[in-house]
Structure 1
């Protein structure tokens, strides 16, 4: 806790007030009580990561691991044994239950706000997108089971469910209440991830000037619009399987003045609508962990087919599990797979992504590795750079793996 230099009292270093988030034409309106509910949940997430997680770590080091070794005559061998051992520890169970509760409450709070005004939001989106060929929907698209069978991170209906013609409810929920999870660390428009990717590209690929960019799994465009804005002479195509999020995304983009982007309903597993070598840059951002293993492999193959000579593909994700990552950290990161409706999280973070890219046709010597950190809006969260807390899966610090051809 920081000190206020003028009063010597502890300075507030929690999330910014939700009232300062960026708004646009299709952003849901929020009442006083809805705002305070979101503020409470964001602050609770912050408290869990900064104050409770250190206690879980201490319990693991001083109680759970020693008791396991005493009982079994050996150290804990892997993250699966560590998770099962932690289930007998009160501190871990309290943190786990509270974290799950904040996620469920975040979804219900955001969902209710969106549902309360869903007809109005749909009308606004329709007024902004009607007749615009930059929204290309495919009602015949089959939603794969690995999507339709999961309410991702507890969001009822996930990204794809629509409840009436023209619906944007789940897009609105995902956009406005994501503040709870990020606690403002992704900026006024939750676009800090996209800005981080742009900064990485401009720093590491100084001569790169793409004309055609593809983002797979772009949902409402949080990570997409910074890319489109940074390369105004390029055409950005965002594909996603969810019609509600795509309708919302185009309305959001237009109301924010971003014109060089189109939104296409399609599965990243089959992008045959685009011919070979169609794009200079293909991007995914925090998307791979929501794919089945077979879907991931198909998408990697599609990205290789679609890249032009000299092009790049970049995947931004939480770090892979490795022999150098402590078992406690692996276990805490693995929480999402068991308790946050992310059933592919564990498998995705243990596979060798570089090998998967090689098998998809990328040359090993052209594989890209890097790291990005979400760009913070200093007006909202001036102390973010000094925050060294870790919540194992939610912090805006990601790894980059990609490839060139």
Structure 2
């Protein structure tokens, strides 16, 4: 790998007080995993296409007398190929190692983390937990991306273990592509709206599926006069996320435990901006339309709905690319990934009062953290994988009822 491809030591990410502090060996493991993930996604991952074109596709055509008709046929054929099975096992093991190391870092210092979180959280109206909120079965039934207990798991009642594990390991999972604070996505969203509508000053913003607030906090920082409400069903993630925001000095954000499928507490047309970031793919096909519908209900006329996600599968996307993007659904405990990316999100938004003529799709690239990655060489067109890239599915709600 070139120098541009290699993130710095993992200790570069410990930039707020709530962040779990790794010792030497833990930091070394995370740094190894960050580079391994970049290698698996880059140079090593390219071997999958070679395996498909040179072995799997010719064998499939010889057996069936035709090319595959969908991504599922490619998956079944590729799963018999030794190279793809090797790569897939490495990728799965890298996630399991990331979770193992993250939990080791957190559990070693859980007493200190819980104590610090209590200092930031107790008596603050900006953290609103509700024990009556149930974790939906579609989230409780699976350890999402191999995280033990998922976002809502507790080692003991009232702890922050799930949120702390998520925050400290995201650097390794993304190969540093979200920056030192894992907030490159939120920074990108804030920068996009500032450029798109420089005079727009939303007063009330709703972030759904907030996890630890790493995407909502940059938005709150970009709009300091706005009231930002970040909701999730997972209390341990909210406890940690609120303490994290307080440690970063962000005061205009409230973390609230709520299921977005029913937000009766929020009045109709009470938010200027409703958004999610890499959340829709973790929803069941029943929950997703409900959440978009509720989001549209609470969105003001002329307001923005904005969903950051991976691109939807379409006839224009090659079947092999669909297959590769599907890997998480079958190997990384993301059971709704495949089905969600085949949904017609535009139609779902249209069904809930956001007509297609007001919709748009835009590419959003995480803001590059130059403390981690130096600027691209002058004149270079290659990004060197320094920042994550997503699609955003957005809509401006009509000013008048349709």
Question: What's the TM-score bracket when you normalise by the shorter of the two chains?
Answer: over 0.9
- Find the partner of 1:251 among 243, 255, 262: 243
Partners of 2:75 and 2:87 lie apart in 1 by 13
Unaligned runs of 5+ in 1: 3-10
Q: Residue 266 in 1 paired to residue 252 in 2?
A: no
Corresponding position of 2:317: 325
Corresponding position of 1:64: 56
Q: Residue 138 of structure 1 aligns to a residue in which SS? A: coil
TM-score, structure 1 as length reference: 0.94
Deviation at 1:15, TM superposition (A): 2.1
Q: Residue 380 in 1 paired to residue 372 in 2?
A: yes
Greater mean alpha carbon deviation, residues 337-346 or residues 197-206: 197-206
- Find the partner of 1:160 among 149, 152, 155: 152
Partners of 1:273 and 1:108 lie apart in 2 by 38
Q: Could you tell me whether the CA contact under 8 Å between 2:180 and 2:369 is conserved in 1? A: yes
TM-score, structure 2 as length reference: 0.95
Partners of 2:38 and 2:104 lie apart in 1 by 23
Partners of 1:282 and 1:220 lie apart in 2 by 17
Deviation at 1:282, TM superposition (A): 0.6
Q: Residue 169 in 1 paired to residue 182 in 2?
A: no
Partners of 2:187 and 2:80 lie apart in 1 by 41
Partners of 1:283 and 1:46 lie apart in 2 by 28
Corresponding position of 2:96: 104
Corresponding position of 2:204: 212
Greater mean alpha carbon deviation, residues 152-161 or residues 17-26: 17-26
Aligned residues: 394
Q: Could you tell me whether the CA contact under 8 Å between 1:129 and 1:251 is conserved in 2? A: yes
Partners of 1:399 and 1:345 lie apart in 2 by 15
- Find the partner of 1:235 among 216, 221, 227: 227
Deviation at 1:389, TM superposition (A): 6.7
Greater mean alpha carbon deviation, residues 318-327 or residues 286-295: 318-327
Unaligned runs of 5+ in 2: 398-402
- Find the partner of 2:195 among 191, 203, 221: 203
- Find the partner of 2:80 among 83, 88, 105: 88
Deviation at 1:368, TM superposition (A): 2.3
Please list the CA deviations of residues 46-73 of structure 1 after superposition, one character each: whole Å capped at 9, or x if unmatched: 1112221111111111111111001110
Q: Residue 285 in 1 paired to residue 277 in 2?
A: yes
Deviation at 1:139, TM superposition (A): 0.6
Q: Residue 188 of structure 2 aligns to a residue in which SS? A: helix
Q: Residue 293 of structure 1 aligns to a residue in which SS? A: coil
Deviation at 1:278, TM superposition (A): 1.1
Give the alignment's Cα RMSD to 1 decimal.
Answer: 1.5
Q: Could you tell me whether the CA contact under 8 Å between 2:5 and 2:384 is conserved in 1? A: no
- Find the partner of 2:360 among 350, 360, 368: 368
Please list the CA deviations of residues 180-223 of structure 1 after superposition, one character each: whole Å capped at 9, or x if unmatched: 11111111101000011111111222332100000000111110
Alignment of 1:26-175 (within 5 A): 26-175=18-167
Q: Could you tell me whether the CA contact under 8 Å between 2:186 and 2:214 is conserved in 1? A: yes
Deviation at 1:386, TM superposition (A): 5.8
Greater mean alpha carbon deviation, residues 89-98 or residues 14-23: 14-23
Please list the CA deviations of residues 58-117 of structure 1 after superposition, one character each: whole Å capped at 9, or x if unmatched: 111111111100111001111000001101111111110000000011011101111111
Q: Could you tell me whether the CA contact under 8 Å between 1:354 and 1:367 is conserved in 2? A: yes
Q: Residue 338 in 1 paired to residue 330 in 2?
A: yes
Partners of 1:389 and 1:56 lie apart in 2 by 20
Q: Residue 255 of structure 2 aligns to a residue in which SS? A: strand
Q: Could you tell me whether the CA contact under 8 Å between 2:171 and 2:179 is conserved in 1? A: no
Q: Residue 391 of structure 2 aligns to a residue in which SS? A: strand
